[in-house]
Amino acid sequence: MAKRKKQAKMNTTMRHLITKLNPRSPIAEQYRTIRTNLQFSAVDGDMKRLLVTSSGPSEGKSSTVANMAIVFAQQGKKVLLIDGDMRKPTVHYTFRLDNRRGLSSVLVGESVLDESIDKSDVQDLDILTCGPIPPNPSELLGSKAMEKLLADAGDYYDVILFDTPPVLAVTDAQILANICDGAILVLRSKQTDYEAAQKARDLLQPAHAKLLGAVLNDLEMKKGQNYYYYYGN
């Protein structure tokens, strides 16, 4: 039974990284479409720091941001994926990394950025896991230390992506939105409530970040369609 459970967990992780495992699949192609649309949105300004969030839990934001990070790296960009969900982090599970130090460690001064970043097995993609879960995530994310971390990372990376907690649960995504260039809202077909999506949008709009659009995932395929993901405003 233990073996079956371990295998099931591994298979789930593999599905999350479809852009790595099956880069020619229709789903991987839709992640590249997201990447292209984001690059078009950057014509009039810098879109280096991007956050991905959702209105509520289990809507696919973590797998979405992980696959987005991979397709940017596959394009030859130097990418840093940061787990900004310091309440329920998952990035270290997805990429099978140690989480004993990470973002929280850097922000409280227990380690430096260079020592806390892990290289993934995807070329040009580095990961900053959450690190030990702190008692005050919102304060850390809005700190001067966070601004310094981003300034330092910005000198080396072309794209910095944040996985953040759901907007309606806590204020963390709104705080990070103020220091990012753009935000993306992930919605799950037949699960995300329309009013919840509207409220999430309204909470993000006052931030300095531009709400770039939404990723609708788990969309049921109709006959003749070859995609699962759609990106749009």
> Euclidean distance between the first and final Cα of the chain, in Å?
45
Q: Mean per-residue pLDDT for 117-142?
A: 96
Q: Mean per-residue pLDDT for 130-141?
A: 96
Q: Report the number of distinct structural domains present in the chain.
A: 1
**Residue 24: CB partners within 8 Å, gap ≥ 6?**
none
Domain that holds residue 82: 2-232
pTM, full prediction: 0.87
Q: Residue 148 belongs to a domain with what CATH number?
A: 3.40.50.300
Whether 215 has a pLDDT exceeding 60, the answer reads yes
8 Å CB contact between 25 and 154: no
pLDDT bracket for residue 224 (50, 70, 90): low
Question: Residue 142: what pLDDT?
Answer: 95
Whether 228 has a pLDDT exceeding 60, the answer reads no
Whose structure tokens read 């430096």? 112
Query: CA-CA distance, 169 to 111, in Å (whole number)?
Result: 29
pLDDT bracket for residue 223 (50, 70, 90): low
Question: Residue 199: what pLDDT?
Answer: 93
Residue 190, Ramachandran bin (φ over 0: left; ψ between -120 and 50: alpha; else beta)? left
Question: Residue 5: what pLDDT?
Answer: 37
Whether 86 has a pLDDT exceeding 90, the answer reads yes
pLDDT per position as a tens digit, 4-51? 334 334 344 444 799 999 999 998 999 999 999 998 887 666 789 999
Question: Residue 190: what pLDDT?
Answer: 85
pLDDT per position as a tens digit, 137-195? 999 999 999 999 999 999 999 999 999 999 999 999 999 999 999 999 999 988 888 99
